[in-house]
């Protein structure tokens, strides 16, 4: 009998807490050089090129969907402006996806009790973290975005016009995905 991996989604409540670039071109174009990350982010500075490309593709799809508008459950969103890929949010997203894969859990709060907001604080992000979407098992950017857009809470995080920055982290061993939204 064969087992089929069923993709999973999780959503955190959107809470406001108290280095930008576009993903046009290469996956790392416009992001800080390795030596410009703080020490916490050094662990993700050398990321698998294919994984980084998947992350860039998610940002592109997010901006395409935002430009079209969407209905997320009972909430309708008009077309809105793009988000900008942000390095510290990407760091938080990457390290969370990696942590879930390596330690075998799937949740917004990690096994050490750290919330998304705790993880963003470690990156020294100067904006306000405003939401996190996670997913597991989706094989590519189009599939994970379809999953998130078909889930009202995830879709609302993506479409929220107040969110102006985005970090995406993909860890390919188990296909773990994290989006961290922010605003300035």
pLDDT of residue 150: 97
Average pLDDT across the chain, whole number: 84
* pLDDT tens for each residue of 121-143: 999 999 999 999 999 999 999 99
Angle (deg, nearest 10), helices 152-159 and 141-149: 110
pLDDT of residue 128: 92
pLDDT of residue 46: 83
- Provide the 10 A C-beta neighbour count for residue 130: 23
Cα distance from N-terminal residue to C-terminal residue, the chain: 51
Q: Residue 83: is its pLDDT beyond 90? A: yes
pTM of the model: 0.82
Q: Residue 99: is its pLDDT beyond 80? A: yes
For residues 19 and 63, which has the higher predicted lDDT (pLDDT)? 63
Closest of 136, 6, 133, 137 to residue 72, by C-alpha: 133
* pLDDT tens for each residue of 159-183: 999 999 999 999 999 999 999 999 9
Across the range 72-99, mean pLDDT stands at 97
* pLDDT tens for each residue of 8-50: 555 443 332 222 222 333 344 444 444 455 788 887 878 999 9
Domain coordinates in residue numbering, the chain: 52-183
b/e per residue, 79-91, with b = 16+ CB within 10 A?
ebebbbbbbbbbb
pLDDT of residue 81: 97
Q: Which fold has domain 52-183?
A: Pathogenesis-related Protein p14a (3.40.33)
- Provide the 10 A C-beta neighbour count for residue 13: 10
């Amino acid at each position: 009998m064969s087992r089929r991996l069923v993709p999973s989604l999780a959503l955190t409540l959107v809470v406001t807490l108290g280095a930008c670039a576009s993903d046009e071109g290469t996956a790392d174009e416009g992001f800080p050089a390795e030596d410009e990350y703080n020490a916490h982010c050094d662990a993700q500075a050398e990321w698998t090129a294919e994984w980084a490309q998947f992350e860039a593709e998610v940002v592109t799809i997010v901006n395409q969907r935002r430009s079209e508008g969407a209905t997320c459950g009972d909430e309708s969103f008009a077309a809105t402006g793009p988000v900008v890929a942000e390095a510290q949010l990407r760091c938080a997203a990457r390290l969370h996806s990696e942590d879930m894969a390596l330690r075998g859990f799937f949740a917004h709060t990690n096994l050490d009790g750290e919330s998304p907001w705790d993880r963003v604080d470690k990156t020294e992000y100067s904006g306000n973290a405003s939401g996190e979407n996670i997913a597991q098992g989706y094989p590519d950017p189009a599939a994970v975005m379809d999953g998130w857009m078909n889930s009202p809470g995830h879709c609302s995080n993506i479409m929220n016009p107040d969110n102006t920055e985005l970090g995406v982290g993909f860890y390919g061993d188990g296909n773990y995905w994290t989006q961290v939204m922010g605003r300035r």
